[in-house]
Structure 1
Amino acid sequence: MADRSHGIPPAELGDDELRSEMAHLHETRHDTVLGGSEDALETHTRRMLELETEFQRRFPAEAAPEPRRTRAGSREEAGQADR
């Protein structure tokens, strides 16, 4: 039997559940960083990375960076694409 002490494995979540779990984790991140124990932060970080990795796998187009947030996209927007 799988260890579910830290939630359902991301691959087993439905799309809406994955989005909800990720949103909740991002909402609680600040409090965990500021007030959580070292173990709580480790667990939170591990779960966050698992969920984000699964999100990127399922929704690569949504997870892709905005072109302006990349070096090449910023240069292109500034008219410096050749550099």
Structure 2
Amino acid sequence: MADRPHGVPPTELADDELRGEMTHLHDTRHDTVLGGSEDALQTHTRRMLELEEEFLRRFPAEAAPDRRRTRAGSREEAGQ
């Protein structure tokens, strides 16, 4: 059996579809880690990374870390 792609390539998804796909994969991650086969986990991981990379490319401002979650931001907030 030939290896087939899983899902629509992320670059071809509309913004709302990309967000929906990411939500679904994040919702199913726990079950895949705990109960999926090794192949299922590898496929899930590959798809999740593809979607996340596309999200980061399209929405860099949304993916930027909160300043308070960085060392510099934490120090600034603490008055250091």
Return the TM-score normalized by structure 1: 0.89
Task: Specify the alignment match of 1:32 in structure 2.
Answer: 32
Unmatched tracts of structure 1, length 5 or more: none
Extract structure 1 runs of 4+ deviating beyond 2 A.
none
Superposed displacement of residue 5, structure 1: 3.6
Give distance in 1, aligned partners of 2:4 and 2:18. Answer: 15
Unmatched tracts of structure 2, length 5 or more: none
Give distance in 2, aligned partners of 1:6 and 1:20. Answer: 16
1:46 and 2:46 correspond: yes
Identical counterparts, % of pairs: 85
Equivalent position SS for 1:65:
coil
Equivalent position SS for 2:20:
helix
Aligned residues: 78
Superposed displacement of residue 71, structure 1: 1.1
- Larger relative contact order (C-alpha < 8 A, sep ≥ 6)? 2
Considering only aligned residues, what root-mean-square deviation do their CA atoms show, in Å? 1.2
Return the TM-score normalized by structure 2: 0.92
Give distance in 2, aligned partners of 1:30 and 1:12. Answer: 26
Describe the superposition over 1:60-80 as per-residue Cα deviations: whole angstroms up to 9, x where unpaired.
000111111111111111111
